[in-house]
Amino acid sequence: MTFKPKNTKKKSTSFKNPEVAEIFKTYPEKIREKLLILRELIFETASNTEGVGMLEETLKWGQPSYLTPISKSGSTIRIDQIPSQENRYALFFHCQTNLVSTFRELFPKTLEFEGNRCILLNVKDRIPFKELSLCISLALTYHLDKKRK
C-alpha cells in the first residue's frame, strides 16, 4: 500500500475533536503541513488495515494522538513537532513496546529514531510514505499481533 495525498495542504479527514484542531493551528506552517500529512496517513492506513476499526483522535500530553478504542488492536500513536529543533517533527510510540526496535530492524538506513520512543523526521525531507505506512500499521495492530503469538 502506498499513500500519496493528492493535495498536501488540504486535509480530507475533518476534525471531530475541536481541541485537536486548535493544536494544529499552533504549529509553524511547514511543521503543520507535514503533521497534517502524517495525520492523513494514519487515518488512511487504519482504514486499510484489517482489524483496526475506528480511530479516536484526541490529545495526550498535549500531542495529537490516535487510538483504537473499539477494537483495542493498537498501541497509541502520537505526532508532534520537536520543540528544541526547528525543522523536526516525529511519530511517537509507547516506549515500553518493541515497536521502535522493530522499525529500526526494518528500516535501519531509511528512518531516523530516537531511543525506543519515536521516528524523527525533517520538514526539508520527503516523507517516506511506504515505510511509515508499515510502521503505522504495525502500531495499530500491535495488540492483535501479540494475541496471535
Q: What are 129's three cell numbers? A: 510514505
Residue 68: inside a domain: yes
8 found inside a domain: no
- Strands of the sheet containing 112-114, edge to edge, are 56-60, 63-67, 77-81, 88-93, 118-122, 112-114
Confidence of residue 146 (pLDDT cuts 50, 70, 90): low
Would you say residue 6 lies in a domain?
no
> What pLDDT band is residue 13 in, cutting at 50, 70 and 90?
confident
Q: Is residue 148 part of a domain?
A: no
Rg (CA), the chain: 14
Domain coverage including residue 113:
30-143
Bridge partners, 119 (sequence order): 91, 113
Encode pLDDT of 71-125 as tens digits: 999 999 999 999 899 899 999 999 999 999 999 999 999 999 999 999 999 999 9
The pLDDT of residue 8 is 42
- Residue 13 domain flag: no
Given a cut of 80, whether residue 9 has pLDDT beyond it is: no
1 in a structural domain: no
Q: Is residue 10 part of a domain?
A: no
Q: What pLDDT was estimated at residue 12?
A: 59
* Number of domains present in the structure of the chain: 1
**Position 72 in a domain:** yes
Mean pLDDT of the chain: 90
Q: Residue 126's domain is classified under what CATH number?
A: 3.90.1150.200
* Contact of 72 with 143, CB cutoff 8 Å: yes
